[in-house]
Amino acid sequence: MANDLDLIRVFNALMRDDLSSFIQRVFATVDPGSTYHHNWHIDAIAHQLERVERGEITRLIITMPPRSLKSIAASVAFPAWLLGRDPQKRILAVSYAEGLSDKLALDCLKVLDAPWYKSCFPATRIARSRTARSDFETSRGGGRFSTSVGGTITGRGGDIILIDDPHKPEDMGSEAKRTTVLDWYRSTLLSRLNDPKNGPIVLIQQRVHEADLAGMLLEQGGWEHLDLQAIAEDPVEIALTQGRCIQRELGDLLHAERLPRDLLDRRRDELGSYVFAAQYQQRPAPLGGGLVKWDWFKTYDTPPDRVPGDQIVQSWDTASKAAEANDYSVCTTWQVRGNDAWLLHVYRAKLEFPALRRRIEEDGRRVRANLILIEEAGSGIHLIQDLKQNTGLKVKGIIPKDDKATRLLAVTPMIEGGRIAIPQDAPWLADFRRELLLFPNGKHDDQVDSLSQFLNWHDRPKHKSGYVRFKL
């Protein structure tokens, strides 16, 4: 019995004083069916968070890949550990979505209610009058209040602010949605510190864009930064708990057991170089000139012969007026075979509605199109109705979803994966290349819209973000 009591005392002391060990025990509580694989990066995270708790730093950014215990460490274990050491601490926790925010709060509440936690921290108890999972308090007046980006926090403050993934990864290409997060941080969240001068803020996230919240704050300066790349791109020394450190060499993996090299290679193929560099390497590239590389396209000298099973698909991005200030109407014509597609032709002109309507019908009949895609917005709505009623052509309306950059970003893996071919030479190729490589900073984007509309349709079984689709 004496030995058992000694073991309990040692365990409790370890949980109170060593955040890395505490994180491991929390994992077993919130995810009991999974195996915990300890890795040095947990010690690196714990070291920096312990420095925050001791008051050594007040601004900390941790950037790291998804599925690396980021949220359990920073949004579940760390606040539970803080409340155990100081049950009067008031913690404000933020995530990009209400559902995620509630899940993390519930996991934290589960930890505080666990018997082992109560044994370690007997002074920390949940106040039974305030047990809402998104807003629970201790009997000593501390607690954890959680909200989502854009949520209402009027009248609420925190001794510490924890921000866990403020950006939804699917919104990485949307400047408007990124700006909303940045504005909310500056105008609302930043003022919620109980001690504006000394209160700490911790941001932990996967990078999604060079202009995301981490990018903005790092550019401002004054933040401690722990950067954990899935694959080390430079030699770097990283501090760990208990005065230790680790030297990462070029090419070293962050955590070979959870993110082995073959898995990372598959992720790069699935996500494309741009998204992989942001989310796994924490090195987002600017969209201008970085979203699509010309050498990703396969090329052909002559298009393949049309065989049974092939489809000819035309993708129209239409403008409503032919005035000089208005955009072009563009049609890209494609030959589709299985997962592959060949760009056969690009037509680009400024046409008034009657001429545009005639051109769509004439071109569709000339190439014997199996399907004509038209954006179901603006002049396209009338065109779709007219063509369906008065021609025998197969016309499909496409309802755009998200902004133009997000729609193209969703299909870049198809281009990089070698599924899309363009001609070695064509009269229209130079203009097409220029517009694509300048996007989204060029004057025109009509050819890009036609391209991404077709590619999103072509990739439709995967239901990626970009367009709302309907069965043919």
| Whole-number pLDDT of residue 326 | 60
Calculate the average pLDDT of the chain: 88
Q: What is the mean pLDDT of residues 46-63?
A: 97
C-alpha distance from residue 247 to each of 64, 164, 237, 252, 283 (Å): 17, 27, 4, 10, 20
Answer yes or no: pTM beyond 0.75.
no
CA atoms within 13 A on the CB side of 10: 6
Is 2-279 a CATH 3.40.50.300 domain? yes
Rounded-to-integer distance, Cα 32 and Cα 331, Å: 55
Residue 300: helix, strand or coil by DSSP? strand
Rounded-to-integer distance, Cα 282 and Cα 308, Å: 46
Note the pLDDT tens digit of each residue in 5-16.
888 889 889 999
Note the pLDDT tens digit of each residue in 349-387.
988 889 999 999 999 999 999 999 999 887 788 899 999
Q: What is the mean pLDDT of residues 190-208?
A: 93
Q: What is the mean pLDDT of residues 21-26?
A: 96
- Confidence class of residue 464 from pLDDT cuts 50, 70 and 90? very low
Is it the case that residue 119 has pLDDT exceeding 90?
yes
Rounded-to-integer distance, Cα 345 and Cα 303, Å: 11
- Confidence class of residue 453 from pLDDT cuts 50, 70 and 90? very high
Is it the case that residue 324 has pLDDT exceeding 60?
no
Rounded-to-integer distance, Cα 22 and Cα 193, Å: 26
Selected residue with higher pLDDT from 130 and 141: 141
402: phi > 0 → left, psi -120 to 50 → alpha, else beta; which? left
Same fold, 2-279 and 294-468: no
Is it the case that residue 134 has pLDDT exceeding 80?
no
| Whole-number pLDDT of residue 467 | 38
Is it the case that residue 33 has pLDDT exceeding 60?
yes
Note the pLDDT tens digit of each residue in 39-52.
999 999 999 999 99
Q: Residue ranges of the domains in the chain?
A: 2-279, 294-468
Among the listed ranges 13-22, 73-82, 286-295, which one has the minimum average pLDDT value? 286-295
The residue type of 441 is N
CATH classification code of 294-468: 3.30.420.240
Instruction: Burial-class residue 99 by CB neighbours within 10 Å (0-12, 13-18, 19+).
Output: exposed
| Whole-number pLDDT of residue 463 | 39
Residue 472: helix, strand or coil by DSSP? coil
Q: What is the mean pLDDT of residues 94-99?
A: 87
| Whole-number pLDDT of residue 469 | 35
Rounded-to-integer distance, Cα 417 and Cα 181, Å: 32
Note the pLDDT tens digit of each residue in 166-180.
998 888 778 888 899
Strand partners, 204: 62, 164
Is it the case that residue 131 has pLDDT exceeding 80?
no
Note the pLDDT tens digit of each residue in 255-299.
999 999 999 999 988 888 778 888 999 987 655 455 788 889 999
Is it the case that residue 81 has pLDDT exceeding 70?
yes
3-state helix, strand, coil in the chain (%, to 5): 40, 20, 40
Peptide bond before residue 440 is cis, with ω within 30 degrees of 0: yes
